[in-house]
Structure 1
């Protein structure tokens, strides 16, 4: 009887602290300010602002929480999330995850090198293939909160790799991206960034 009671109390307790799942419809009503940089459907038209459309919900939620807490510094987002609660962030993440990303086009002269890095890595530098975490079509691994790269702006990807390489961005699990980016040359970063812009 005691074990049953303890199990019941633990279950109630866990249920009580669990956050509700994100609601995409509710999220749409909370993204008016976001649209200024990321566009209404999450397909930003400016290369230095990331496309959020089609991004993994778990990844988006982690980034929003990291930005809000200061674990990830994004000057353009300063104060934007201050008044949003956990449910708001979950709803916004669900909304953008529900949208379809608009693909870009890779620069033709960058495709060969970019594809090689993305699919095979750079063995002599100890750089693993991007497909290991981001998938063959760049859709990421949602359950692990590994981001989708398919269609992302090359400018944003290159900037992000550069920040990881310098340690300016450091909210990657087990320093995976910092380790990889620090081994890539500027030309390699640019090529793989161009490649993922058109990847689908």
Structure 2
């Protein structure tokens, strides 16, 4: 399982790297690397990864910038976001904000408290 996750991360990083070498990309093209964990429409199918659909744009931008700068650290997110420019970060944030939440999982009060502390 660990090797599969490493392979998925490598594919994601390579996808994002390819994006970084082009002029402009659409949100759908950018989301390809994010979809493995967060879902193509921002609705994660795993409790391990947050749902990004309908998330506040400013919050997403701040979190992505924090991963990029190292203010927030995550072995999967930091390399993925590290090569995104501000335009791509804003494009992703706006895309996910515009997506609908498909289904609500039960609210984990402990995770909700942590999320409020981060925000």
**TM-score normalized by the length of structure 1:** 0.42
Alpha carbons 1:44, 1:50 under 8 Å: kept: yes
Q: Considering only aligned residues, what root-mean-square deviation do their CA atoms show, in Å?
A: 2.4
2:56 match: 56
The CA deviation at 1:78 is 2.9
From 91, 110, 117, give the equivalent of 1:158: 110
CA distance in 1, matches of 2:117, 2:37: 25
1:138 match: none
Identify if the C-alpha distance between structure 1 residues 46 and 105 changes in structure 2 by more than 3 Å, giving closer, same or farther: closer
CA distance in 2, matches of 1:68, 1:92: 14
Alpha carbons 1:53, 1:96 under 8 Å: kept: yes
SS state at 1:100 partner: coil
1:71 match: 71
The structure with more radius of gyration: 1
CA distance in 1, matches of 2:85, 2:72: 17
Structure having the larger proportion of residues in helix: 2
2:43 match: 43
CA distance in 2, matches of 1:75, 1:89: 18
Deviations 1:98-134 (A, max 9, x none): 101123243xxxxxxxxxxxxxxxxxxxxxxxxxxxx
1:177 equivalent in alignment to 2:117: yes
The CA deviation at 1:160 is 6.5
